[in-house]
Amino acid sequence: MKKPLSIPRPLKEEELPLLEALHDLHEPGKEAPGLLLEGEEEKCRVRVYRGKKGLSVLFHGERAKEEFLRSFPGEEVPLPKKKEMPSSREKAPPSLFPQIGSDEVGTGDAFGPIVVVASYVEEKDLPELRALGVRDSKELADEEVLSLAPRLLKFPSARIVLSPTKYNKMQREGKNMNAIKALLHDHAQRLLAGKFPGARRYLDQFCSPALFQKYVREAGIEPLPGIQMATKGESRYPAVALASLIARARFLEEMRKMGEEEGVSFPKGAGAPVDRFLKEYVRKKGPEALERVAKLNFRNFSARRGE
């Protein structure tokens, strides 16, 4: 069985009619942010989106490459470059293992929770992680992340979900986003450090180490010693990459459940789709409903408070 691919391509307005006819594209069966048209070929889903930069098309599935070439004959297929785990000839230095790595998802999304995950990885796990294609979750489509998630949960992890309601309470108590992230990372790392005391600890850097420790101490907690931070930590430390994927899968699941409870499909991010969705949501549910589904300090909601 071929591995599913996700192949995006910008689309010109004049290319849309031919693509629409070729793949029998139609309006989506359910509301999705930016999704304009969709169609189903054998082992390939074709979706057309309209965003800030115009139209784009996404081919996803085992036959994504073939359907791309059928749609745009002669073009080079823009296959993504995968960031793989170190090969057997290029093993990460043994001193890096065992390791605990943590990452977060949801901090840039106006709706939904913040999810922080810490994962534990040993050097012997690298071949399996490489075979699974573990890398930064932002490089994978939502469907790929969700299908991969069950196989990733075999590795030890600690998963923390901060609901919008709790986030808003912490904001009102004077904690900024970085302070909240520091507390969540510290807690997730602490949960695994107790089980694996000899592991090295890493996280994707979002503030200076000094500020990280300051935020944790302000909450009356003595920070764990020895946590190392690095930008793009998911490309340096397998445990951070693993945590990134598990966190994204959990975030997507939480968004799905929140949408079912509210009877809507919440947009991700904090751009124009959120602003358009917000007006209708407040009209139906009332502004007080935002407390349980949204991060109210985001600029999207400043004009809606008190309506």
Write down the pLDDT at residue 92. 47
- The verdict on pTM exceeding 0.75 is no
Write down the pLDDT at residue 301. 87
Write down the pLDDT at residue 284. 92
Alpha-carbon separation of residue 26 from 6, 37, 54, 261, 273 (angstroms): 20, 5, 18, 28, 21
β-pairing verdict for 157-162 and 54-61: unpaired
Write down the pLDDT at residue 305. 47
Q: Kindly tell me the burial class for residue 45, based on how many C-beta atoms sit within 10 Å of its own C-beta (0-12, 13-18, 19 or more).
A: buried
Contact status, residue 94 vs residue 36, Cβ threshold 8 Å: no
Q: Please choose, from the candidates 84, 98, 106, the residue with its C-alpha nearest in 3D space to the C-alpha of residue 162.
A: 106
Contact status, residue 38 vs residue 25, Cβ threshold 8 Å: yes
Q: Please choose, from the candidates 244, 242, 227, the residue with its C-alpha nearest in 3D space to the C-alpha of residue 155.
A: 242
pLDDT in tens, the chain (307 residues): 677 889 999 999 889 988 998 998 988 877 777 889 999 988 999 999 988 888 999 999 999 999 999 998 888 888 766 555 555 444 544 568 999 999 999 999 999 999 999 999 999 999 999 998 887 667 788 999 999 999 999 999 999 999 999 999 999 999 999 999 999 999 999 999 999 998 999 998 889 999 999 999 999 999 888 889 988 888 889 999 999 999 999 999 999 999 999 999 999 999 999 999 999 999 999 999 999 999 999 988 875 544 4
Return d(Cα 104, Cα 115) in angstroms, integer. 6
Write down the pLDDT at residue 306. 43
β-pairing verdict for 99-105 and 114-121: antiparallel
Residue type, 146: L
Write down the pLDDT at residue 53. 83
Write down the pLDDT at residue 293. 97
